[in-house]
């Protein structure tokens, strides 16, 4: 049956007023050239490829579950949903009918007489790597404890790998610890963060490496134009603290880019002094900033933020520059607000001013903390603003790194070889950024996304692919039916300039009778009078058959001699009426007699037409059908048929149909026709 389906000659069945989908294999038959609904065997037909969600629906279908339970195949049915594949064609023939009759099938409302050619995965033909991944891939996300172990520090670390701490050096160990009983051949997908740049953590040793700090910030005034050579000593999401020999000031902007400067960068800043909340600042919008290098900085001894000092800052009326301070306080989190309360002080607090996520990640509501940073004035009359440089709790400490690295999420695929986890270098793993590039809202694919999007994705990733190149692609798949995610894989081959899925796919036909779907490989062949290449070829084969079996025995040796049944054009005949030129069956009695009068001597017009049609139905057409479908035969328990829709001409065009029951390969029994009643078996 697979051979039949791949030869390009199968047509979609004639629609009852509507063709549901295009049939790419039958592009020669597009439009059907005006074919209408025949009077016999009318049906709707479509083609359909199962999605990953469909396999889950098949496995969870109540009718299938009852059937599988009765036959002792409950585990096998469940495996269809997880593996997204049948184990063989027979399994598909058993469990697909209930799915086709359920609302999970998009065309469940098709009527009796309808047919659908379903393409599905059969695991016997699936690539072993693809099968292993689809059978169940473990998932692991690197934790903060893992990153600390990689950086060998509870303080100076980032929640990401970087060039000096490559993920490949640590992931195998993490997986072995996480999955100590993994079986050989098991796959695991690991999610982690990655920074292209190595972070530089702050130190307490001095040195300006030749950069000369200015002495400007100790005595600034409002609206003063300043030119400062300073160092970045603290950062928040709205700016940074600029420090020179004279003092410190906030460089503020609501659109501040945290990656524009780094901690301990030496910078030249030219701008105008403004103020907010009784704190001098330089507006980022008016500033010109040049990074001159990077170095180290020694913080001064911090001022203790006592209740009296906090009250004083909140009550001041004159603008001041920032100063370095520390405090012990209890954290209270309310939405985006992180406020800290000092024992013995009522009505006032310290506000963690636009704190970096780097610090907020370890700050817990209700926890007592020790903080260091720069006081930059107040918000309202009760909040003392602090730009944090260090956060400590009883169990952990974080100091501002020299840079807040830009990180991105990555996913790596590993395979257990029986003793160690190794990177699965033969599988292309989709990254979170790839889903975004494909227009996905989430970092996964769903529905028919893998089949539809991955070929185009591969074309962009591998623009110079060579013929017969192969790529196994692993991706995160969201099953909308079960609302779960799992890692799945597909194999693609580069054939004829395109990436094509190689899934061990099988296509089989199912038909609907008496309200029930069943496997039925019956063929519907359309032969419209459209002079298409296929129809011309098919009808010429008919003419050739008549020449060889009817004209040659009469002594003809040239198909264009015009002596007997075949005309001098060599492309039409009147023994069975076939015309490769008009791609129809010509049943005009006058035209037949004009070609070969001796062949119709003594016949009435009605008898001439019956002679031509009978020969076409019972001899010419069955012979040519057997040439095109040599392996098409009966199947136990199924009434396999071959239906041919064709056109006749008797001065006017008409659509006709003949239906055969398949008795054996190349042997058919005509069971119905729009023109004549059934005849005996035709060979």
**What's the pLDDT band for 275 if we cut at 50, 70, 90?**
very high
* pLDDT > 70 in the chain, percent: 89
pTM, two decimals, is: 0.43
Here the contacts of 403-406 (C-beta below 8 Å, separation 24 or greater) are: 403/197, 403/199, 403/200, 403/262, 403/263, 404/235, 404/258, 404/259, 404/262, 404/263, 404/356, 404/358, 405/158, 405/160, 405/162, 405/195, 405/197, 405/199, 406/195, 406/196, 406/197, 406/259
pLDDT at 405: 64
Mean pLDDT of 381-407: 81
pLDDT at 124: 54
Average per-residue pLDDT for the chain: 84
Q: Which residues of 462-490 are buried (b: 16+ CB within 10 A; e: fewer)?
A: eeebeeeeebbbbbbbbbebeeeebbbbb
Please determine, for residue 7, whether its predicted confidence score (pLDDT) is greater than 70: no
Q: Are strands 115-121 and 45-49 parallel, antiparallel or unpaired?
A: parallel
pLDDT at 4: 26
pLDDT at 210: 56
- With H, G, I as helix, E, B as strand and everything else as coil, classify residue 352: strand
Mean pLDDT of 671-679: 75
pLDDT at 316: 93
**Least confident range of 79-93, 440-454, 465-479:** 79-93
- Condensed to tens digits (0 to 9), the pLDDT of residues 18-67 reads 232 223 223 222 222 333 333 333 346 788 999 989 999 999 999 999 99
pLDDT at 114: 83
**What's the pLDDT band for 125 if we cut at 50, 70, 90?**
low
Domains of the chain and any CATH numbers: 2-133+502-517 (no CATH), 134-199+405-425 (no CATH), 303-396 (2.40.50.140), 426-501 (no CATH), 525-682 (no CATH)
Mean pLDDT of 273-290: 93
| DSSP classification of residue 165 | B
Nearest-angstrom CA–CA distance, 423 and 220? 58
Nearest-angstrom CA–CA distance, 83 and 52? 9
- With H, G, I as helix, E, B as strand and everything else as coil, classify residue 570: coil
- Condensed to tens digits (0 to 9), the pLDDT of residues 287-301 reads 999 988 777 788 889
**What's the pLDDT band for 83 if we cut at 50, 70, 90?**
confident
pLDDT at 490: 87
Mean pLDDT of 464-475: 88
pLDDT at 527: 85
Q: Could you tell me if 548 and 560 are in contact, meaning their C-beta atoms sit under 8 angstroms apart?
A: no
Q: Are strands 584-586 and 138-141 parallel, antiparallel or unpaired?
A: unpaired
- Condensed to tens digits (0 to 9), the pLDDT of residues 141-167 reads 999 999 999 988 887 788 899 888 999
pLDDT at 101: 92
**Least confident range of 177-181, 280-284, 339-343, 663-667:** 663-667
pLDDT at 19: 30
**Least confident range of 25-39, 244-258, 430-444:** 25-39
Please determine, for residue 235, whether its predicted confidence score (pLDDT) is greater than 50: yes
pLDDT at 89: 65
- Condensed to tens digits (0 to 9), the pLDDT of residues 199-214 reads 756 443 344 445 788 9
Cβ-based neighbours of 208, under 8 Å, separated by 6 or more:
266, 295
Nearest-angstrom CA–CA distance, 410 and 256? 26
- Condensed to tens digits (0 to 9), the pLDDT of residues 626-660 reads 888 887 777 777 778 888 989 999 989 999 999 99
pLDDT at 13: 32
For the beta sheet containing 115-121, the strands, ordered from the edge strand earlier in sequence to the opposite edge, are 45-49, 115-121, 505-513, 516-519
């Amino acid at each position: 049956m697979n051979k039949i389906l791949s030869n390009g000659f199968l047509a979609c069945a004639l629609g009852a007023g509507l063709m549901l989908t295009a049939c790419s294999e039958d592009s020669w038959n597009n439009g059907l050239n005006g074919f209408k609904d025949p009077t016999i065997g009318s049906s709707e037909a479509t083609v359909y490829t199962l999605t990953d969600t469909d396999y889950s629906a098949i496995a969870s279908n109540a009718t299938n579950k009852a059937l599988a339970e009765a036959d002792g195949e409950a585990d096998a049915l469940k495996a269809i949903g997880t593996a997204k594949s049948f184990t063989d064609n027979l399994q598909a023939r058993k469990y697909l009918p209930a799915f086709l009759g359920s609302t999970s099938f998009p065309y469940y409302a098709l009527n009796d007489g309808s047919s659908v050619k379903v393409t599905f995965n059969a695991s016997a033909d699936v690539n072993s790597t693809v099968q292993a991944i689809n059978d169940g891939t473990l998932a692991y996300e690197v934790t903060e404890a893992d990153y600390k172990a990689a950086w060998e520090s509870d303080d100076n670390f980032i929640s990401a790998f970087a060039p000096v701490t490559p993920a490949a050096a640590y992931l195998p160990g993490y997986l072995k610890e996480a999955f100590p009983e993994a079986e050989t051949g098991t796959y695991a997908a690991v999610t982690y963060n990655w920074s292209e740049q190595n972070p530089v953590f702050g130190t307490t040793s001095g040195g300006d490496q030749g950069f000369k700090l200015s002495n400007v910030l100790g005595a600034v005034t409002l609206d003063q134009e300043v030119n400062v050579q300073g160092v970045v000593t603290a950062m928040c999401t709205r700016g940074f603290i600029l420090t020179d020999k004279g003092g410190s000031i906030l460089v503020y902007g609501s659109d501040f880019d945290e990656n524009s400067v780094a901690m301990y960068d030496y910078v030249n800043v030219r701008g105008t002094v403004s103020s907010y909340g009784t704190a001098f600042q330089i507006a980022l919008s008016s500033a010109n900033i040049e990074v001159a290098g990077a170095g180290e900085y020694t913080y001064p001894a911090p001022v203790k933020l006592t209740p009296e000092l906090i009250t004083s800052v909140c009550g001041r009326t004159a603008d001041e520059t920032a100063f370095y301070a520390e405090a012990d306080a209890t954290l209270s989190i309310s939405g985006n607000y992180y406020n800290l309360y000092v024992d013995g002080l009522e009505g006032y607090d310290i506000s963690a001013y636009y704190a970096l996520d780097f610090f907020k990640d370890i700050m817990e509501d209700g926890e007592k903390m020790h903080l260091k940073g720069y006081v930059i004035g107040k918000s309202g009359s009760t909040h003392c603003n602090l730009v944090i440089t260090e956060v400590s709790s009883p169990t952990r400490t974080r100091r501002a790194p020299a840079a807040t690295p830009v990180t991105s999420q990555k996913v790596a695929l590993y395979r257990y070889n029986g003793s160690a986890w190794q990177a699965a270098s033969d599988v292309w793993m989709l990254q979170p950024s790839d889903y975004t590039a494909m227009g996905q809202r989430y970092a996964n694919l769903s529905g028919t996304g893998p089949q539809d999007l991955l070929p185009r994705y591969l074309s962009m990733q591998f623009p110079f692919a060579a013929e017969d190149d192969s790529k196994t692609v692993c991706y995160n798949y969201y099953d909308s039916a079960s609302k779960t995610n799992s890692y799945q894989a597909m194999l693609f081959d580069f054939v004829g300039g395109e990436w094509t899925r190689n899934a061990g796919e099988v296509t089989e036909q199912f038909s609907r009778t008496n309200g029930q779907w069943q496997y039925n490989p019956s063929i519907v062949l359309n032969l419209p009078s459209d002079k298409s290449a296929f129809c011309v070829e098919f009808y010429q084969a008919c003419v050739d058959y008549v020449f060889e079996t009817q004209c040659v025995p009469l002594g003809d040796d040239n198909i264009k001699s015009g002596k007997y049944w075949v005309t001098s054009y060599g492309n039409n005949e009147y023994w069975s009426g076939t015309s490769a030129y008009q791609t129809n069956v010509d049943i005009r009695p006058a035209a037949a007699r004009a070609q070969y009068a001796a062949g119709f001597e003594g016949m009435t017009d009605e008898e001439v037409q019956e002679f031509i049609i009978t020969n076409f139905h019972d001899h010419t057409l069955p012979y040519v059908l057997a040439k095109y479908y040599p392996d098409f035969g009966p199947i136990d328990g199924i009434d396999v048929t071959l239906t041919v829709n064709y056109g006749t001409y008797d001065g006017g065009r008409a659509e006709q149909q003949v239906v055969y029951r398949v008795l054996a390969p190349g042997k058919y029994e005509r069971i119905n026709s729009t023109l004549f009643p059934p005849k005996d078996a035709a060979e």
